[in-house]
Amino acid sequence: MSKQMSRRNFLRAAGMGTAGLALANYLPALAQDDLQATINYWHHFTSETEFLGMERVMALFAEKYPGVEVIQENIPNADFMAKFTSGVLAGERADTTMISVARLPDMVAMDGLVPLTDRINNWELKEYFPDNRWEGITVDGEIYGIPAFTFVDWGYYRTDWFEEAGIEPPQTFDEFLEAAIALTDPEQGRYGFGMRAGDGGQGFIIAVMEAFGTQIVDENGEPAIDRDTAIEAIKWYSDLYTVHNVVPESAPSDSYRQIMEGFKTGQTAMVWHHTGSLTEIAAALEPGEQFLPIIRPAGPVNHVARLSYLYNGVMKEDNIDAAWAWVSFWGELDPTIAFLEETGYFPASQEVAEDPRITENDLYTPALDTLAFGGPEPNFVGYSGWTTSVVLPEFQKVLVGEATVEQAVDAMIAGLEETLE
């Protein structure tokens, strides 16, 4: 890919220009409404590109529903469930909210969401969303939200560093470790991998455990972590920091922003994230010449990558028609394209995802290949709290020498059993 193509024309080359994804056979937007209301929306967007996408969607919504004012409130991801819980308990709910699959069981268990089943089943755009889009947002037959976009797990690697070292992109955990070691040079401030072991890093820990072959819960929802397998997995992952020294010293506290900046500024050779960061990275590095996306490497037993659909739902019925207009608007064509242009987030609509301007673009090939084997993360009441308050801090203790791998895994298992009691 040329430098000219990879910067100013990057989105156009990816098939994401302003008119790029207009599908003539896509259903038209819902009819204009004369709603008059002010509603608020809780979300946990953090990046500049996400906020730009949010602004585009809000502007389009205001054009269609001029009588509805949306007041958006950003809540840091680490504080989101605390805010949600306190809002429900204190009777200070938002009208609408962002919903992740991992948090849905807890949100429903505290009666924090309004079922939207009837409205969704009668929504004229529902047919564009395959059945698996609704599985993660359904509890006991009730549907609680509309898919807004898709996170497809993948990674990024520095093509220039790999070519210089004569190394092929890794396809397995063993190859990943070999590449990380080969590309680490502390004297130049270079490390093979940017590990997210701070806020938000818990999902990677669970994915590594599953890649080594252990379940988290069984088909009956009972604890199912195999201790020996989990120890092997946590040792492999923590050894990247404690033994091989292939990640920055700041890893135990590094969250999204730190791993992104580390990759963009030439500190790290590889990083794991999802499709949502493509636009940000492509604005800093030359696609093809300095970086490319890559499928997550396969573990010793399983090839694990998440397909995570983020949803929008309703918390109260006071302004239900306006709230429904807002959450369903995210499923329409124009806002889907606008958000895609700014963020690179994959559409949840199958109609848009299958457009040739996505399927025929090499940058998206790893994501499209991941759709064939990827799947959702575990989903049970208490999952979010367990991973945040037990799994992540126990892993961090291993990194900083406050616990052995065995002690950390035992604490994780005990915490899971307590969660599921």
277 and 356, same domain (yes or no): no
CA dihedral sign, ordered 367, 368, 372, 375: positive
- pLDDT, one tens digit per residue, over 97-123 is 999 988 999 999 999 999 999 999 999
Same domain assignment for residues 82 and 49: yes
Confidence of residue 32 (pLDDT cuts 50, 70, 90): low
Tally of domains in the chain: 2
Do 256 and 181 fall within a single domain? yes
Q: Show the domain range for 52.
A: 13-151+307-370
Q: Domain for residue 55, yes or no?
A: yes
**Distance from C-alpha of 369 to C-alpha of 363, rounded to nearest angstrom:** 11
pTM of the model: 0.75
Do residues 276 and 151 touch, judged by C-beta distance below 8 A?
yes
Whole-number pLDDT of residue 34: 80
Quick one: average pLDDT of 369-392?
90
Does one domain contain both 189 and 120? no
Say yes or no: 84 and 203 in one domain. no
Q: How many other C-beta atoms are found inside a 10 Å radius of the C-beta of residue 81?
A: 21
Question: Are 173 and 126 in a shared domain?
Answer: no
**270-274/292-294 β-pairing:** unpaired
Q: Residue 252: which CATH number? A: 3.40.190.10
Residues 73 and 89 in one domain: yes
The overall average pLDDT reported for the chain is: 89
Identity of the amino acid at 51? F
CB 343 within 8 A of CB 53: yes
C-beta separation of 388 from 203 below 8 A: no
Q: Tell me: do 265 and 173 sit in the same domain.
A: yes
Judge if 241 and 354 occupy the same domain.
no
User: What is the pLDDT at residue 371?
Assistant: 82
**Cβ–Cβ under 8 Å, residues 133 and 348:** yes
**247-269 pLDDT per residue, tens:** 999 999 999 999 999 999 999 99
**Do residues 106 and 124 both lie within one domain?**
yes
